[in-house]
Amino acid sequence: MTFVVLIPARMASSRLPNKPLADIAGLPMVVRVAQRAQLSGASRVVVAADDARIVAACQDHDIEAVLTRVDHPSGSDRLAEACDLLGLADTDVVVNVQGDEPLIDPASIDAAAQLLQTRSDCSMSTLAHAIDSVEEFASPNVVKVVLDARNTALYFSRAPIAWWRDGFAQGVTALPTPAPLRHVGLYGYRVGFLREFPKLAQAPIEVTESLEQLRAMWHGHRIAVHVSDHSPGPGVDTPEDLARVKALLRHAA
């Protein structure tokens, strides 16, 4: 199994300025993410940055990085440019690891890559895990996914799906059976599709749900889903998230 990990990283963040360079136990966050990714089976781990300061921080810690344009409308566009800068072939597999996941599980990265390589009918792969909290199931900030018999995505939504007709008559107060699935934002792509994706027209359902993966499905592409036994480590979107990750690392030390 041969694949490349690409980590998009951009400076602009309304909730946590200069997020990729946020210090976590003496290392910039993006470096910690890359070091975790290097524990996977990837043949190459590359940060796709929009700022020379990110590239410099990566180089200071022997992390490969490329400088991409600052005007990309989405992370997918940035990854597509990185594939061109790196000279990757259309048949190559890349795994998109978000630059704000310093506790990413390397096994999850391997799972996304391996799944895509075994599912020739799918253009993308991703992860999910069972939800065990009513609050998470009801939250629009938690993306849910429903699958078919082969663990191919049928739909992603911020709404509680699948909807329990009888049990939800009085509102979402319990979890249905089988357990609903939370989508984990880790993606595997074939490079040829990744180059095509930014050129696809936005889908109405993508705009409604604010979920970019629905564009792929709307245009007829399939997404294979690996169901994990455990939830991922927390990501970092806010100063509070950053403090939580720092505390977890101190506790683990």
**Stretch 154-161: mean pLDDT, rounded?**
97
Distance CA 93, CA 96 (A): 10
**pLDDT on residue 15:** 74
Residue 159 lies in a domain: yes
Residue bearing the bigger pLDDT, 235 or 213: 213
Residues above pLDDT 90, as percent of the chain: 77
Mean pLDDT of the chain: 93
Residue 43 lies in a domain: yes
Which CATH number covers residue 102?
Answer: 3.90.550.10
The domain total for the chain is: 1
**30-73 residue pLDDT tens:** 999 999 999 999 999 999 999 999 999 999 999 999 999 998 88
Local confidence band at 253 (pLDDT 50, 70, 90 cut-offs): low
Residue 243 lies in a domain: no
Residue 224 lies in a domain: yes
Residue 248 lies in a domain: no
Residue 38 lies in a domain: yes
Where in the sequence is the domain holding 196, given as residue range(s)? Answer: 4-231
**Stretch 125-140: mean pLDDT, rounded?**
95
CB-based contact 51:44 (threshold 8 Å): no
How long, in residues, is the chain?
253
Residues β-bridged to residue 46: 6, 64
> Which of 98-107, 175-184, 228-237 has the least mean pLDDT?
228-237
Residue 194 above 80 pLDDT?
yes
Residue bearing the bigger pLDDT, 67 or 245: 67
- DSSP per-residue string spanning the chain: ---EEEEEE-S--SSSTTGGG-EETTEEHHHHHHHHHTTSS-SEEEEEESSHHHHHHHHHTT-EEEE--S--SSHHHHHHHHHHHHT--TT-EEEE--TT-TT--HHHHHHHHHHHHH-TT-SEEEEEEE---HHHHH-TTS-EEEE-TTSBEEEEESS--S--TTTTTT-S-S--SSPPEEEEEEEEEEHHHHHHGGGSPPPHHHHHHT-THHHHHHTT--EEEEEESSPPPP--SSHHHHHHHHHHHHHH-
**pLDDT on residue 16:** 82
Residue 93 above 70 pLDDT?
yes
Residue 241 lies in a domain: no
Pairing outcome for strands 144-147 and 27-28: unpaired
Residue 251 lies in a domain: no
Residue 34: other Cβ atoms inside 10 A: 27
